[in-house]
Chains A and B, each alone.
Chain A
Amino acid sequence: MKLRTLPLLLAALAAAGLTRFSAAEKPAAAPASPPFQNEPRSFAQPIRETPVGSSSRLGDRAFLGAPPPMPHTFAGDRDGRYCMECHARVARIEKRQSAIAPVPHAEFSQCQQCHVSGVNKTLAPFRENAFVGLDLPGKGTRAHAYAPPTIPHKTFMRDNCQSCHGPMGKQRIASPHPWRSQCQQCHVPDAAKNYDRPLPWEKLGGNL
C-alpha cells in the first residue's frame, strides 16, 4: 500500500510547487512517471542494440514505428501521388523486380511527408549520432502450442496485415495461411505491447 500511495503523495506536493514531476535526476533508474501524466504506459519491449543502418528487418528505420525511408529512386521529387500506382497492389510488377509491399495504411495519401528518400544509404552523417531505438517486438504469446499467437506490436497504421505478413512480406514473418483474410478474428492485439490508445478498462488497473 505504501508504494502505491507514493505517486499521489507526490502529486499533492507537486501541486504546491514543491517537487518536480519527474524523478529523472536519478540516472540509475528509469524516470518515475510524473504523477499527473496523462496515461504514461509501460510495456516490456526490447530496444535496438545496433545503431542505424543495421541489417535487421527494421532496415534503415531509426526505431520500430519510425517510417521507413523510401528505398528506391523516384520519377520526380514531388510525384508522391503516384506512389499508389505500385504500392496499392499485392503482386510483383515484373518477375525480376523485388517484392512490393502494399501500404498498410491506405487512408493516408501524403506518402512523402513521412517516407523521405533513403537512396543515399552510404552518405556520411552530417554529425555522428548516438541514438539507440526501439527494436523489433519479438513474438506474440500463445496460450498453448496450437493456439494462435497474439499480435506483439501496435496496430495503428498497420490496418493491412498482408503488407508485412502476406506473400510479399519477409519470409520470417509470412503468414502460413495467407488465404485467410480476417486476421484479427484469431490473433488479438497483445495488450502489453499495443500502446495505440488507452482501453476503457485500463484505469481499473489490475482490478477487473
Chain B
Amino acid sequence: MQTNRREFLRQAALAFASSVLAGALPRNLGAATAEGADGLVWHKAPCRFCGTGCGVMVGVKDGRVVAVQGDLEAPVNRGLLCAKGYHAGVALYGKDRLTTPLIRKGGKLTPVSWDEAIDTIAKEVMRSPATFAFYGSGQWTICEGYVAMKFMKGGLGNNHVDPNARLCMASAVTGMISTYGVDEPSGCYDDFDVADTFILWGNNPAEMHPVLWSRIIDRRAKGQKVEVIDMGTRRTRSTEEADHYLEFIPQGDLAIANGICHLLVKSGRYDKAWVAKHCNFRKGGDADGEAMTFEEYAKWLETYTPEFVQKVAGIRPAQLQLLADRFAEPNRKIVSLWCMGMNQHTRGTWINNLVYNVHFLSGKFGKPGSTAFSLTGQPSACGTCREVGTLGHALPGGRLVANEDHRKQCEELWKLPAGRINAKPGHHAVAMFDALQKGELTGCWVQVTNPAQTMPNLNGLTSKLKERFLVVSDIYPTVTTDQATVVLPSAMWVEKNGMFGNSERRTQQWFKLINAPGDARDDVWQTIAVARKCYELGHPGMKDKNGDFLFTFKDAAGKVIELWKWDVFKNANADQLLFTEYREFTMMKKYFVAPYEELVKARGMRWPVVQDKATGVWRETPRRFVEGEDPFVEPGRGVDFYWGKLKDHKALIWARPYEAPPEVPDKEYPFWLCTGRVLEHWHTGTMTRRVPQLHRAMPKSYVELNPEDAARLNISTGDQLKIKSRRGELKLPAWINGRSTPARGSVFVPFFAEESLINLVTLEAHCPISKEPDYKKCAVSIAKA
C-alpha cells in the first residue's frame, strides 16, 4: 500500500509540475474554483438507489443539489436514468429531515446534543456489550459497513452484526458459495449487450432494474433480435416485452430447473466437454452435501419428467421443452436473470444452485453473452454487505468467524491481540429481531434501514423494540424511529463521502458535494464517535494490541487524526483512510478492489483490479473466472473456478429436490400472497415518497387481484379489502389489471407504504442455509372490508 501511495503522490507531483510549466490547469478545476457561487457545477456520483449502480451527474449550485442527470460516461447506464434516479436530488430536501439527535425522555423524543447522544449510547453499550447488536444495510457505504464491523467484531468481541441484505441477497450468496466456492457473479452487464435470449426467473427488471432493462430491450430498436422468456407468478411490465410468458405455481421454479436439466441429459444435448472439464456433482440438502457421479445425477433427474413438472409447477410440457431447446442450442447465448423471486425463497440457496446447473450443463457460462446473473437489489449489497462481510458469520474479505485461521488473519490486520474475535457467529437478521423480541438482546443500533417496516411478521418480530435500547441513524422519521430510544440524524448520499459496490462487482466512489442539513452527521463518524467514547470509558476491546484506539490513523507527520472529533472528521477524508485499510482484506480472497485513488478517477471499476506490471495501468475484470479477463485464471483452463469447493478448479452441479413451501393456501386462507417493490418507490418509500413527482404517481398501497378471482368474488378496482393471514391483517383497495396481474389464486401487495404494513401479514419462514425469509409466498384470505 505504501508503494501505491508513494506512486500516487509522485504522479500528483508530476501533474502539478507539468501544469505549472504549461501554465494550463484542467478547466474543471479552474472553473469550479473561479466561478464560485454563480456557477452550476456537475459532479459524478453513483445513483443512491438500486443495485444497478447507474452513474449520475449531480448539479450543485449555491451549496444545494439543483439537478441530476444520467452520466454519459458511465458504462453502466450511458446517460440514462429511471424516474427514481432523476429525482434522487429531490429526495434530499424533504422538510422533515432529521437535523438533531433525539433521545426518548418521558416517552417523547427530545432534542439533545451530539455529546449527550453519543454518551448515552456508549454507556448502554458498556453496560451490556455482549447483548448489543448492529443492524445495517445494503445501502451502507462500504466504509460505513466496515466501521460498524470493526467496532462490533474487532472491538465489542460480539458478532451480532447483520444487514438488511440478509432479507435480500443472502440466498444468492450461499448459492454462489455452494456452487463455485466464492461470492459474487462471474458475468457482467456487457453480457446483456450480446445475449440472444434472456430468461427471467421470477424477475421484473422493468420496474426493479429499469435502466438495465432498457439496456436489454432498446437493442430491439437497433434492429437486434432479443428474445425474452419470462417465468413468473404474475404478469408485469417485463411480461409486456416478453416473447414467452411461463406462469408457474409458487415454488415450482425448483422443479422447472430440474426439469430442464432432465430434458438436456436425457436427450444427450448437453455440453459434455464443458461439464467434464469444469463440474463435479453433489447431492444433499445442506451447504456441504456429498459427492455423486454423473450417472447417479442422471438417474436422480428422472423424477423431473415434463409430467411431474407440470403437476407441481403448472407449466405445460411444451413450455418446458421450449426452455430445454433454447439451452440445447450450442450457439445460442443465454443470460438468466433473477433477484428477489429466487432469493426470498424458503429454498433460496437450492434454486440458485439449480439455475447454475442449467447453465453449466448447457455450457452457457463464462462466455460473452452467456451467464447466470444474480441482480442485486440495493446499491451496495455487494460492495458493503457481501465484500466487507457485514454478516453475523463473516469477516472482511470472504473470511469466516468460525474459522480459526481466518480470525487470526483479521486480528493481525486489525492489530488486535490474539483471540479477540469471538468464534461464535452472530445472529442473522431474523434471529436478531427474534432475540430482541425475547429480550435476549438488550440493544440494537440500526443504520440506513427501516426494519419495523421490512421485517417479516412484524407482530412477531418488531413489536417490542420500544422496550429495548434501540438506536436509529436515519435521515427522515420512519416507523423504526418511532420505536427508537435514540435517533441520530444522518447525512445522505452526496452530503458525505462514500463508495458503493454494484451487481457487476463495480466499486464506485463519490465525494461530499453539499452539507447535510442542521446537525446531521455521517454514519461513519457516529460509529467512530461511540467507539471512542467506549474507549474513554475503558472498554478494553476498543484498544488494539499496542494500546491504541481501534480507529487510529496518522497523518504524514505521524500525528493522530482524531476522527472522533467532528471538526476533524469533516475536514478529513475518512473514506480514503478506511478503504485503504480495508483493501488489504480484499486481497485474501482475490477480490482486489481498486485503490481509492484509481476509483476517484474512474466511473467505477470491476474487481479484481490488478496493476499491469509493465505499464502501471490498473485493469478491471469484466468476466470473472474467464481466461484473458480474470488475472487469476490459470492459463489454458478457459474457465477456472479457482475457489471450487473441492479445490480442483471445478464448480458443483447440485441435486436439489423440489420441496413444497411451508405455507400453502387452504380452505381458510385460499390465496397466495406475494410482496415486492414498484418502479416509483425505493423500498419503504422514506426517500421517494418525499419526491412530489413520485408520490403523485404512486401515492398509496393496493392489492392486485387476478380479474377472474375478482369477478368471482364480485370485487372491482377501488373496493376496500381485508387481507388476513395467520399472523396479521390489513385493509387495502383492490387494483385489477393495473400495474400487474397476478396468477389466478394469488394476490400482490407492495411494501413501500408505512401506513399499510403488509409485513404484518407475511411469514418469517426462511431458507435454512441462507436464513433469508420468503416474502413471496404465504397464505391469505381476501374479503370485502
Contacts and interface: CB of A to CB of B under 8 A. Distances in A.
Contact of B240 (A3, A79, A123): A79
B54 to A, nearest CB: 12
A30 to B, nearest CB: 5
The contact size tier of chain A is: 35 or more
A120 B696 CA distance: 6
A51 B29 CA distance: 31
Contact of A80 (B93, B235, B237, B476): B237
Contact of B22 (A29, A45, A69, A207): A207
B33 A3 contact: yes
B211 interface: yes
A196 B72 contact: yes
Contacts of A134: 40, 59, 61, 66-67
B63 interface: yes
B61 A20 contact: no
A44 B32 CA distance: 11
A5 B16 contact: yes
A156 B20 CA distance: 35
B27 A203 contact: yes
B680 interface: yes
A78 B236 contact: yes
Interface string A188-204: 00000001111000111
Contacts of B86: 62, 65-67, 114
A78 B66 contact: no
A47 interface: yes
A156 B72 contact: yes
Nearest to B576: A17
B693 A37 contact: no
Contact of A120 (B37, B69, B699): B699
Given A29-B36, A81-B241, A134-B59, A116 B694 contact: yes
A64 B555 CA distance: 43
Given A31-B63, A33-B32, A116-B680, A195 B57 contact: yes
B697 A69 contact: yes
Contact of B90 (A109, A118, A126, A129): A129
Given A25-B570, A114-B82, A129-B95, A42 B699 contact: no
Interface string A21-55: 11011010111111111111111110110001100
A66 B214 contact: no
Contacts of B685: 126
Contacts of B512: 20-22, 24, 31
B87 interface: yes
A113 B211 contact: yes
B383 to A, nearest CB: 19
Contacts of B739: 77-78
A146 B44 CA distance: 38
A48 B90 CA distance: 13
Nearest to A39: B28
Given A17-B553, A123-B695, A195-B42, A31 B16 contact: no
A117 interface: yes
Interface stretch (A8-16, A90-98, A163-171, A175-183): A8-16
Contact of A44 (B38, B96, B694, B740): B38
A47 B41 CA distance: 12
Interface in B688-722: 689-699
Contacts of B33: 3, 6-7, 32-33
B94 A19 contact: no
Contact of B94 (A42, A129, A198): A129
B80 A108 contact: yes
A200 to B, nearest CB: 12
A186 B184 CA distance: 51
A41 B95 contact: no
B24 interface: yes
A41 B693 CA distance: 27
A138 interface: no
B36 A30 contact: yes
A29 to B, nearest CB: 6
Interface string B496-522: 010000000000000111110000000
B67 A63 contact: yes
Contacts of B94: 127-130
Contacts of A80: 237, 240
Contact of B62 (A30, A33, A116, A120): A30
A107 B16 CA distance: 43
Contact of A132 (B20, B25, B66, B222): B66
B413 interface: no
Contacts of B68: 63, 65-66
B388 to A, nearest CB: 20
A53 B692 contact: yes
A81 B486 CA distance: 48
A144 B691 CA distance: 43
A18 interface: yes
Given A25-B571, A42-B31, A127-B689, A15 B9 contact: yes
Interface in A53-109: 53, 60-67, 69, 76-81, 106-109
Contacts of A12: 9, 12-13, 16
A160 interface: no
Contacts of B738: 76-77
Contact of A112 (B61, B95, B237): B237
A172 interface: no
Interface in A114-143: 114-121, 123, 125-134
Contacts of B173: none
A117 B738 CA distance: 13
A42 to B, nearest CB: 4
B10 to A, nearest CB: 10
A27 B691 contact: no
Interface stretch (B244-252, B539-547, B596-604, B653-661): B596-604
Contact of A62 (B20, B692, B737): B692
Contact of B96 (A112, A128, A133, A205): A128
Contacts of B83: 67, 113-116
B629 to A, nearest CB: 24
Contacts of A11: 12, 16
Given A126-B690, A207-B24, A45 B40 contact: yes
14 contacts: A14-B573, A17-B561, A38-B601, A41-B41, A62-B90, A63-B67, A78-B740, A80-B240, A107-B222, A110-B206, A117-B697, A125-B690, A127-B476, A204-B27
Closest 3 CB pairs of A and B: A33-B32, A116-B697, A113-B210
